[in-house]
Structure formats: structure tokens, C-alpha cells
């Protein structure tokens, strides 16, 4: 009887550990700024944090499951390791012609970040992801 209990316990512990290892932690951060403007969205787990001013406390809200899944679906279509190589279609942010924006993804404790791009004109590879993030913000505010 003790042997059966011991085997059953080991099986349960093993399943619990492997389940935790298979969970992928992903955070998505979109930042837009200029000299006098700051806007940041952080999507992490089921929470979305919105910061609208440098140094301000974030407004934390629950992220609806359907919106989060749509965002993760778009993110999974992307080769995240190439994020830093995507070229922005314009560089107006370099001379104050547009807000500077960038996208950062933290997945399994590895950080991937895009090159700076003009807000409303991201690299074509991440257009849908940026639109999904901004859509989530509009839908929950």
C-alpha cells in the first residue's frame, strides 16, 4: 500500500512540475513618447497596465481573455527573435516629426525589442500586433 501511495505521489508531483515548466510567461510592452508626451502599455498575464505620463502610477485593469488571445495569436505568427531586425518604414521621429515608439516582448525571461519607429507607422511585420495593443486599450478604457 505504501508503494502505491509513493508511486502515486511521485506521479502527481512530476505532473505539477512539468505543467509549470510548460507555461510560457510573456509580457508585451508598447511605448510611445516624445519630449512632452509619454504613453506605455504593458500586457502581462491577464492584466493590462497603462501609463500616460512619465513617473505616473499605472492604471491597472483586467485584460479580457478574447482580446489577450487575439494579441497572443498575432504574436505567435511572428519570429520574435527577428524583432530587432525589422526596419521601420519612416524615421520622422528622428527630427520630432512623430512620436517615438517601440515594441518590447519578454518571453521566458528573454527580452526582444524592436528598433524605434514612428507611432502609427510600425514596421510591416508588427503592424497587426501594435494595432491589437492599441485596440485593447481603446476597448477597456
Tens digits of pLDDT across the chain (141 residues): 444 444 445 545 544 443 333 346 899 999 999 988 999 999 998 899 999 999 999 999 999 888 889 999 999 999 999 999 999 988 777 777 789 999 999 999 999 999 999 988 999 999 999 999 999 898 887
Q: Which of 42, 40, 43 is nearest to 56 (CA)?
A: 40
Helices (H), 23-90: 65-76
Indicate the pTM of the whole model: 0.79
- Please report the pLDDT score of residue 23 as a whole number: 45
Q: Alpha-carbon distance 130 to 136, whole Å? A: 10
What is the full DSSP assignment across 26-63?
EEEEEEEE-SS-EEEEEEETTEEEEE-STTPPPEEEEP
- Please report the pLDDT score of residue 96 as a whole number: 74
- Please report the pLDDT score of residue 76 as a whole number: 93
Q: Alpha-carbon distance 137 to 141, whole Å? A: 6
- Please report the pLDDT score of residue 24 as a whole number: 62
CATH of domain 24-140: 3.30.1560
Amino acid at each position: 500500500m505504501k508503494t502505491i501511495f509513493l508511486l502515486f505521489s511521485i506521479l502527481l508531483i512530476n505532473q505539477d512540475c512539468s505543467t509549470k515548466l510548460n507555461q510560457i510567461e510573456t509580457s508585451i510592452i508598447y511605448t510611445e513618447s516624445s519630449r512632452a508626451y509619454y504613453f506605455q502599455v504593458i500586457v502581462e498575464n491577464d492584466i493590462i497596465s497603462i501609463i500616460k505620463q512619465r513617473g505616473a502610477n499605472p492604471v491597472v485593469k483586467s485584460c479580457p481573455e478574447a482580446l489577450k488571445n487575439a494579441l497572443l495569436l498575432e504574436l505567435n505568427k511572428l519570429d520574435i527573435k527577428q524583432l530587432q531586425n525589422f526596419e521601420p518604414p519612416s524615421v520622422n521621429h528622428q527630427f520630432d516629426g512623430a512620436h517615438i515608439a517601440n515594441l518590447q516582448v519578454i518571453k521566458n525571461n528573454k527580452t526582444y525589442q524592436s528598433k524605434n519607429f514612428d507611432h502609427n507607422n510600425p514596421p510591416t511585420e508588427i503592424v497587426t500586433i501594435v494595432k491589437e495593443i492599441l485596440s485593447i486599450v481603446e476597448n477597456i478604457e
